[in-house]
Structure 1
Amino acid sequence: MAPRTDPLTLEVVELIGTVVARYYDEYDEAAAKHSLTGAQARVLGLLSLEPMPMRKIAQKLKCEPSNVTGIVDRLEARGLVERRPDPADRRVKLAASTNEGRTTAARLRDSLDFAREPLAGLSTDERTTLRDLLRRMLDEGGADG
């Protein structure tokens, strides 16, 4: 295993940080064009994939459930999200995107060019290798992907 302070590791960490910062900057900029905060856009993006309880949204965004409640309240006021009972447990409320919310989330995703444009310059094999390496880095079990 490579030492954590070797120059190559430090350069890779710096590059990953730069990629993440640029992604969030562009995401926030794209969200603002839809009169959303970055956090609202991220919640809307998650909910456009599937309805989920506040607790799960908070876990995915690594924030407090009380923060998610406020974000969902604001999205609901704009007609982008609705609360509904969970069919599996009617005591639990799910946040779900409305048709307008899914349309807005799709437009937001379509306006994000930062990741798409540089990735388009990579071959399919290079993108596959990058994906596999990122998956391996994120695998908490340490097993090969």
Structure 2
Amino acid sequence: MAEAAHVGVPQLMEMLSVSLGVYYGDFTAAAASENLTASQAKTLTVLRRGPVAMRALADTMACDASNITGIINRLEKREFVRRETSPSDRRVTHLVITPDGERVADAIRAKMLTTREGLARLSEQDRDRLHALLSRVFTRPA
């Protein structure tokens, strides 16, 4: 019996590119159904992990702080986020997701049918394995 060929890094990178393209399209369409841009929806996703300083959010989102200000202004107007002054440094503004922001973030995830259906086709063990592998691949070394 012939031994199976191993998948190389270039093939994995291509599969990640295709996968992330499908995920991003699904995410963008779901965000649009809630009248949000992909950047606004991504901001809500990041804020679900906890309060974040404006500068740290800009770094996480890989964009200029002035872009973050515009995104936050629009999300704040819809009462999806609020600004809070840091108790330890009054010069720092933390961004916090509101209950309405949580609700719309949940709605976006629920509407990502292509992604949800694809992941649901995996067994529980495969989903656990995929989670562990992605965590290893995309966790930054300390």
TM tier, shorter chain?
A: 0.7 to 0.9
Identify the residue that residue 76 of structure 2 maps to in structure 1: 76
C-alpha distance in structure 1 between counterparts of 2:44 and 2:103, whole Å: 10
Alignment of 1:84-103 (within 5 A): 84-103=84-103
Identify the residue that residue 17 of structure 1 maps to in structure 2: 17
C-alpha distance in structure 1 between counterparts of 2:94 and 2:141, whole Å: 30
RMSD: 2.1
Query: Quick one: higher RCO (CA 8 Å, sep 6+), 1 or 2?
Result: 2
Identify the residue that residue 124 of structure 1 maps to in structure 2: 124
| Long gaps (5+) in structure 2 | 1-5
Which segments of structure 1 move beyond 6 Å, counting only runs of 4 or more? Answer: none
Q: Give the aligned residue type for 2:128.
A: T
Identify the residue that residue 48 of structure 2 maps to in structure 1: 48
Identify the residue that residue 33 of structure 1 maps to in structure 2: 33
After TM superposition, the score normalised by the length of structure 1 is 0.82
Instruction: State the aligned residue count.
Output: 137
After superposition, what is the alpha-carbon deviation per residue over 1:116-136, rounded to whole angstroms, capped at 9, x for unaligned? Answer: 222222222222222222222
Identify the residue that residue 105 of structure 1 maps to in structure 2: 105
Of stretches 27-36 and 94-103 in structure 1, the one that deviates more from structure 2 is 94-103
1:7 Cα shift?
7.0
| Long gaps (5+) in structure 1 | 1-5
1:84 Cα shift?
1.5
